[in-house]
Amino acid sequence: MAQRKLGFWRRLAVCLVVPTMRVWTKPRWSGMENMPAGGGFIVTPNHVSQFDPLVVAHYLYASGRWPRFLAKASIWKIPVVGFLLDKTFQIPVVRGSVEAAKSLDSSIQALREGGVVVIYPEGTTTRDPDLWPMRGKTGAARLALATGAPVVPMAQWGSQRIHDVRTGKISFKPRVPVSVVAGKPVDLSRWEGEAPTRAVLEQMTEALQFATRDLLAELRAEPVPGGELWNRPARRSGGESAGGSTELPA
């Protein structure tokens, strides 16, 4: 992405984030060649830490694409932060509201314009004790079914060393190794043209989460856990991610 095309506010965000990430993390990136060279697509990363969005944003920016995250609308109420989110074209999601339809419309428009929409299927940091992906919500599947856009699974590992959701501790050590890999778009052709029923969306979401789990196992150099994805327990207070819920309306 040519720097001159970013505009002032996105360039400002880059100036704030990229140097910080270069000091705070030691990136280990792979799989950029698996992302579509042109046109819009959806990215579905795993979510182990509140630090994840910066890691994913850094990776996608380095690949030459501008990330547009779906994030919970309450973040827009934070002074300065909400302003910058607007100016950098992030997409607010109002959960449990008819306003959520606007999030779907904005996401569809972003994809039609060739944008990269980032959705955390889990809607929050994973509650799996070993930080494997858990069962996801259906927002990414719903958007893929509505648009036919490719869905790129993504796994990242290492940000939990900076912010561990299990302990709440934050580390300011420099050059923490953080690995990110993008996989090939998930084959969702079997559901093409299907109505967005709960069964269809859940099957699609499971396929996306399994693809991400396989990538994560490679990064962690560990066997893929057997059995089904971790099922989400009742929501814990204060545990929603910066990515927020990505449950889009039908």
For the chain, the residue count is: 250
Residue 239 domain-assigned?
A: no
The pLDDT value recorded for residue 60 is 98
Is 237 a member of any domain? no
Assigned token pair, 232: 């989400």
Residues 6+ apart with CB under 8 A from 148: 192
What is the Cα–Cα distance from 34 to 30, expressed in whole angstroms? 9
The answer as to whether 240 is a domain residue is no
* Residue 226 falls inside a structural domain: no
Domain that holds residue 183: 3-31+38-220
What is the per-residue pLDDT for 227?
Answer: 78
- Output 249 or 154, whichever has higher pLDDT: 154
Q: Is residue 241 part of a domain?
A: no
Domain assignment present for residue 19? The answer is: yes
Q: How confident is the model at residue 242 (pLDDT cuts 50, 70, 90)?
A: very low
Quote the tokens at residue 250. Answer: 């039908």
Summarised one tens digit per residue, pLDDT across range 54-83 is 999 999 999 999 999 999 899 999 999 999
pTM here is: 0.91
CATH code for position 187: 3.40.1130.10
Q: Give the whole-angstrom CA distance, residue 56 versus residue 53.
A: 5
Distance in angstroms (rounded) separating the CA atoms of residues 140 and 119:
6
**Number of separate domains in the chain:** 1
Q: How far apart are CA 124 and CA 121, in angstroms?
A: 8
State residue 113's pLDDT score. 95
Indicate the pLDDT class of residue 238, thresholds 50, 70 and 90. Answer: very low
How many separate helices (H) and strands (E) can be counted in the chain? 6, 7
Instruction: Tell me the C-alpha distance between 184 and 170, whole Å.
Output: 32
**Tens-place pLDDT, residues 91-148:** 999 876 566 678 899 999 999 999 999 999 999 999 999 999 999 999 999 999 999 9
pLDDT category, 155, cuts 50, 70, 90? very high
pLDDT tens for 182-234 read 999 999 999 999 999 999 999 999 999 999 999 999 999 999 988 789 886 65
Provide the token pair at 1.
């992405």
Query: Which residue stretches of 113-194 are H helix?
Result: 139-147
Q: Does 109 fall in a domain?
A: yes
Residue 249 maps to a domain: no
Is pLDDT of 42 > 90?
Answer: yes
